[in-house]
Structures are given as C-alpha cells and as structure tokens.
C-alpha cells in the first residue's frame, strides 16, 4: 500500500466518520482500514485520531494532515482526469440525491438526454426531500433548493426557482382575493411541511414581511398541495415547476404577485473529493445548460 492509498483511506474515514462506513465505501474490511491507519500514525510518529467505542475525534495534527492530504489528492485526481480527458469521455457511475417533486418535473426528461450524450456514464438517483449526508451516505452529488447550510461541500448554482402564491378561481370567488399579505389571516392556506406554526415571507415596500398562516391541510409534498389548491381547499405557495401547468390552464390563478419574494436557487453540491470527477462535472454543466434556458418552467 503506497502513501497515496493511506491518504485516501484516512480521508475516507474522516469523511465517513467511522471505520465501518469508510470500509464499506472503499470495499475493504474494517480491520484492514484500522490497521492501515495505525501503520500510518506509526510512520508519521503522531496520533491523527482519538478512538473510543462511540466516536472518532480528530487531533489538531490529524485535521492538518486531512486538509493537506485532501488538497494533494485533489491535485493528483485533477492531473489524472486531465490526462484521461484528452482521450476519453466521462465514464463511471454517479449517485445523485434530488428533491422528489423537482426530479419528477425535470429529471425524467433530462437524464435520458444526458445519458444519450455520455454513453459510458451510469446514474443512480435517490428521490427524497430529506437533506442527505453526502459523505456518510456515499452520494456523489445532491440537488438542493434554497439557502445552503455552511459545510465543506462545494456548491454550484444551477438555476433560479420561482415561487408563486395561488388558488383556484372557485376558492377566490367564494372567499375573495387577498390584496395584501395580512389578508391571509382571513383565508385557508395550504402550507408546505409540518409544525404548529408556519410563516410565509413577502417583500413589502422594500422590506421583508412575515405572516403566520393556518389552514386545514398541511403536507410535505408539493404535488399534493397543488391538487388540494386546485380542488378549492385554499391558497398555497409553491414553485412554478409544480403549479406551472395548472396556472397556464387556469385551474389556479396567482395572488399577491407584487409581494412575491425573490426566487430560490437550485444548487448542485458535492464533496471536495469529487471536484475533479468528470461525470459529476459533466452532469452539473448539462443541467445548467438545460435549466438556465427556463425550458421547464422554473
């Protein structure tokens, strides 16, 4: 085993948070991974990790080694990918996590086009609105909508996501059309997610405004909320990739458009050790190219 392989094993342990997860990701035994790290520490003459039955804690020297090793391995991968890229197309498997409703609206038409362009690439997609842990769960790439949490992941903007307040014509005929955000106190609303209290944000006269909304139905799925709004159950607030067709067909109509907040950002996030992966970068560029054209009603 050469020093570069020891670096890769150590970085995988750091990324995964345990010997067991790292061994699974690398296709090695837990005992082999543990033994290699012990030999690495012996060779360096320092302790990189403090081990206990419950967790691994990195030492200051271990953190420094991790950052340097990650940077060095990235440079090595860039060199290898650069040489390979002169003669070959992207190849390999990409494991992707994507939000359910967005994926159903767009990835079903875009991924086949991507795979037709890159014949040696395979894509595995997991649809979930849950914010997956890319490192511990072994994802190469995740698509996320909205503000990103601070992390060591690399983020690339893909496109803007417009959202709209809307309701059915029948509901508005019966209950009236809200003219300002505060009017929602007198309306049934269909908020996304769970919890006792939900706030919708508005842009009012140059400053943000938040309004508490209530209703008889609350769901963590945009498609179900759209159907409820079309059925006249209340006012909802959803991305246009979910309600766009209903708006075009007149089954829903927008309200409070002048108070609509700025669009959200659709981002691709991926671990640092994937920053030179040609399949990952190819998929990101493909999605940016297609979705930036607003072809799918973003």
The H or E element containing residue 79 is helix 60-85
Residue 298 pLDDT more than 60? no
With contact defined as beta carbons under 8 Å apart, do 156 and 268 qualify? yes
pLDDT tens digit sequence for 152-189:
788 999 998 999 999 999 999 999 999 999 999 999 99
CATH topology of domain 3-84: Arc Repressor Mutant, subunit A (1.10.10)
Structure tokens, 192: 């996304």
Residues spanned by CATH 3.40.190.290 within the chain? 163-259
pLDDT band of residue 294 (cuts 50, 70, 90) is: very low
Confidence band for 24, pLDDT divided at 50, 70 and 90: confident
CB 265 within 8 A of CB 157: yes
- The pLDDT, as a whole number, for residue 181 is 93
How big is the CA angle at 100 (ends 16 and 115), to the nearest 5 degrees? Answer: 80
Q: How would residue 137 be classed by pLDDT, with cut points 50, 70 and 90?
A: confident
Q: How confident is the model at residue 254 (pLDDT cuts 50, 70, 90)?
A: very high
Q: Cα–Cα distance between 296 and 150 in angstroms, integer?
A: 29
Does domain 92-159+266-294 fall into CATH 3.40.190.10? Answer: yes
Lowest-confidence region among 194-203, 226-235, 253-262: 194-203
- CATH 3.40.190.10 segments of the chain: 92-159+266-294
Q: What is the pLDDT of residues 197-232, one digit of tens each?
A: 788 989 876 678 889 998 888 888 899 999 999 999
pLDDT at 173: 96
62's tokens: 């271990």
> Is beta strand 154-161 parallel, antiparallel or unpaired with respect to 198-204?
unpaired
| Fold of domain 163-259 | D-Maltodextrin-Binding Protein; domain 2 (3.40.190)
Span 252-263, average pLDDT = 91
Contact criterion met (CB below 8 Å) for 143 and 100:
no
Q: Which residues of 66-105 are buried (b: 16+ CB within 10 A; e: fewer)?
A: beebbeebbeebeeebeeeeeeeebeeebbbbbbbbbbeb
Residue 9 has pLDDT above 80, yes or no: yes
Query: Start-end ranges of CATH 1.10.10.10 in the chain?
Result: 3-84
Q: Give the whole-angstrom CA distance, residue 163 versus residue 261.
A: 8
Cβ–Cβ < 8 Å for 143, 97: yes
């Amino acid at each position: 085993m050469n020093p570069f392989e020891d670096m890769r094993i150590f970085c995988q342990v750091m990324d995964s948070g345990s010997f067991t997860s790292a061994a699974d990701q690398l296709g090695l035994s837990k005992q082999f991974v543990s033994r290699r790290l012990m030999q690495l520490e012996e060779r360096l003459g320092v302790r990189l990790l403090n081990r206990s039955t419950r967790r691994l804690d990195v030492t200051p020297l271990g953190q420094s080694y991790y950052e340097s090793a990650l940077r060095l391995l990235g440079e090595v991968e860039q060199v290898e990918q650069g040489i390979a890229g002169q003669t070959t197309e992207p190849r390999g498997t990409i494991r992707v996590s994507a939000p359910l409703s967005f994926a159903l609206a767009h990835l079903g038409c875009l991924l086949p086009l991507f795979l037709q362009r890159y014949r040696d690439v395979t894509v595995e997609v997991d649809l979930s609105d849950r914010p997956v842990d890319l490192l511990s769960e072994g994802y190469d790439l995740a698509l996320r909508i909205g503000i990103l949490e601070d992390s060591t992941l690399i983020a690339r903007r893909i496109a803007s996501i417009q959202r709209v307040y809307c309701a059915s014509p029948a509901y508005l005929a019966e209950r009236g059309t809200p003219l300002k955000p505060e009017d929602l106190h007198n309306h049934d609303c269909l908020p996304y997610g769970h919890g006792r209290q939900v706030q919708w944000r508005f842009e009012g006269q140059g400053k943000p405004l938040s309004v508490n909304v209530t209703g008889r139905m609350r769901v963590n799925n945009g498609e179900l909320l759209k159907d409820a709004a079309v059925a006249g159950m209340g006012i909802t607030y959803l991305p246009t990739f979910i309600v766009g067709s209903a708006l075009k067909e007149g089954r829903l109509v927008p309200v409070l458009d002048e108070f609509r907040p700025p669009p959200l950002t659709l981002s691709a996030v991926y671990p640092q050790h994937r920053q030179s992966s040609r399949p990952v970068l190819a998929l990101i560029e493909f999605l940016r190219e297609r979705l930036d054209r607003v072809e799918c009603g973003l």
